[in-house]
Amino acid sequence: MSGWLDCWKTILYLAIVSYFGLAIVVSIGGFFDVKRMFKRLGEAKSRPEDVAPPPASPVGEVDRSQGHA
């Protein structure tokens, strides 16, 4: 019975180490993505002609030409 217990302990430890490793890799990648995003936002702020127009109103125009409400 202790053989199975050792097997599952090993699997559990490997899973925990793998998850922590993955969390570190994702965190580092996310840090660089956020850093790049702020750099691009700063560049876009200095060029106002490249800024997108404000979004359209969520309430669209109603076409009443066909008699529908």
Structural domain span for residue 38? 22-48
pTM, rounded to two decimals: 0.53
Q: Can you give the pLDDT at residue 61?
A: 62
Confidence of residue 8 (pLDDT cuts 50, 70, 90): very high
Q: What average pLDDT does range 39-58 have in this prediction?
A: 74
Total domains in the fold of the chain: 1
pLDDT of residue 40 exceeding 80, the answer is: yes
Inside any domain, residue 40: yes
Whole-number Å distance between alpha carbons of 35 and 29: 10
Using CA atoms, how far residue 43 sits from 31, 32, 52, 58, in Å, is 19, 17, 14, 29
Residue 7 counted as domain residue: no
The model's confidence at residue 46, banded by pLDDT at 50, 70 and 90, is confident
